[in-house]
């Protein structure tokens, strides 16, 4: 009895797919709308670049990676919905993101429940493993306790700030950084003279800046998101208040400087990544990123998700796609050299502590110091 030609073709196609190996599905949860949407494309393009490189090199043990992308709108409720879908309906083996700290705090128990690793670029120290012991939650870049400690040190010892004034946002990302600053300045015998909040989406910081001026501040400490950083420095210049300015990671990216190109000149930032870093791994990443994405330059946190994809690939290569085994491997054995240098899980479930002190010159961020 002869087989139907269509059936023969179907069998051939199925055999071809089997020969190519199975598809390994990975979720990417990032903000493409809402508060953090300014970072979503960087996150996606960094992760996708690494995924394409891994697949082009033969995949993982012959299996190709597939990335399912979800928009969390930088909203904890939306993040919970899409993460739940990724974990319990789409059957991914790992989740990258969310990238907003408040979203991570709300959804990380879902990864624990599903026993699926969650690798995030969010930087609040609130969910260090030593504070929230989730065996399935990992961080892909230095957290803000590391960065704010370095910020305070530089502000006091190099910039000579003796009466710091702080402007801060209302999300956990900002509030957790504020607590670090409040703890660190007294170690140098320095007291914060005033702390003023600007809420996300606000377009006027005049009142807050005048209060800082009246308090006698001699240096501005910026602990806000990118848009509010731009509002702050633009209005600080308009008010002709001349003090040193140093901010944490959101104050050291194009999402800030593009909104305040003139006012940002001279601002210092503690960065997690700088595309003009001469480190060979950074140079290679920047060149590959620009070649793939039509000349667009990468910005933090693109490098974190790029590195994270390679960390995950190493884990899957060694232990397969079981979530518990992947998490155990990431926590105890994973060790690669990536864009951010050596990547190895520490007691906080952070893979790196690398950060840079840089100053904006109107075009690039000039690196002053790099710390590991």
pLDDT tens readout for residues 280-316: 999 999 999 999 999 999 999 999 999 999 999 999 9
pLDDT above 70: residue 15: no
Measure Cα distances from 285 to 43, 258, 281 in Å. 14, 22, 6
Rounded to 5°, the CA angle 255-179-146 comes to 65
pLDDT tens readout for residues 159-190: 999 999 999 999 988 999 999 999 999 999 99
The Cα–Cα gap between 128 and 159 comes to 30
Contact 359, 267 (CB under 8 A): yes
- Of 134, 185, 130, the closest CA to residue 163 belongs to 185
Q: Is the dihedral of CA 323, 342, 346, 357 positive or negative?
A: negative
Length of the chain: 372
The Cα–Cα gap between 214 and 192 comes to 13
Contact 49, 306 (CB under 8 A): yes
Residue 203 exposed, middle or buried by CB count within 10 Å (0-12, 13-18, 19+): exposed
The Cα–Cα gap between 224 and 363 comes to 22
In the chain, the domains with their CATH numbers are 2-141+280-353 (3.40.50.2300), 145-271 (3.40.50.2300)
- Determine the straight-line distance between the first and last CA of the chain, rounded to whole angstroms: 70
| Residue 341 falls in which region: left (phi positive, over 0), alpha (psi -120 to 50) or beta | left
The Cα–Cα gap between 144 and 100 comes to 13
pLDDT above 90: residue 342: yes
pLDDT tens readout for residues 183-241: 999 999 999 999 999 999 999 999 999 999 999 999 999 999 999 999 999 999 999 99
């Amino acid at each position: 009895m002869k087989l139907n030609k269509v059936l023969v073709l179907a069998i051939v196609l199925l055999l071809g797919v089997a020969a190519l190996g199975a598809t390994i599905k990975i979720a990417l949860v990032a903000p493409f709308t809402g508060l953090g949407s300014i970072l979503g494309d960087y996150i996606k393009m960094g992760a996708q670049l690494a995924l394409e490189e891994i697949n082009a090199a033969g995949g993982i043990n012959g299996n190709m990676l597939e990335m399912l992308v979800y928009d969390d709108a930088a909203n904890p409720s939306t993040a919970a919905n899409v993460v739940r879908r990724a974990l319990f309906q789409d059957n991914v083996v790992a989740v990258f993101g969310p990238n907003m700290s408040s979203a991570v705090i709300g959804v990380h128990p879902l990864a624990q429940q599903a026993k699926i690793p969650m690798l995030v670029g969010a930087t609040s120290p609130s969910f260090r493993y030593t504070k929230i012991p989730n065996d399935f939650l990992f961080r892909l870049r230095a957290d803000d306790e590391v960065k704010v400690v370095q910020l305070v040190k530089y502000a006091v010892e190099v910039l000579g700030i003796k009466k710091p004034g702080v402007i801060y946002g209302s999300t956990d990302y900002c509030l957790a950084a504020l607590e670090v600053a409040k703890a660190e300045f007294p170690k140098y015998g320095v007291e914060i003279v005033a702390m003023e909040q600007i809420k996300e989406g606000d377009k006027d910081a005049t009142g807050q800046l005048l209060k800082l001026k009246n308090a006698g501040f001699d240096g501005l400490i910026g602990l806000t998101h990118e848009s509010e950083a731009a509002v702050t420095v633009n209005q600080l210049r308009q008010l002709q208040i001349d003090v040193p300015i140093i901010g944490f990671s959101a104050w050291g990216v194009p999402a800030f400087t593009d909104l305040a190109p003139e006012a940002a000149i001279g601002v210092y930032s503690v960065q997690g990544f700088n595309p003009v870093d001469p480190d060979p791994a950074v140079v290679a990443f920047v060149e590959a990123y620009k070649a793939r994405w039509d000349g667009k330059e990468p910005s933090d946190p693109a490098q974190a998700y790029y590195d994270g994809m390679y960390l995950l690939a190493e884990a899957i290569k060694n232990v397969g796609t079981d979530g518990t085994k992947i998490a155990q491997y990431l926590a105890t054995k994973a060790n690669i050299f990536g864009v951010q240098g050596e990547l190895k899980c520490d007691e906080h479930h952070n893979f790196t502590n690398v950060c840079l002190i840089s100053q904006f010159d109107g075009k690039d961020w000039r690196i002053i110091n790099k710390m590991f």
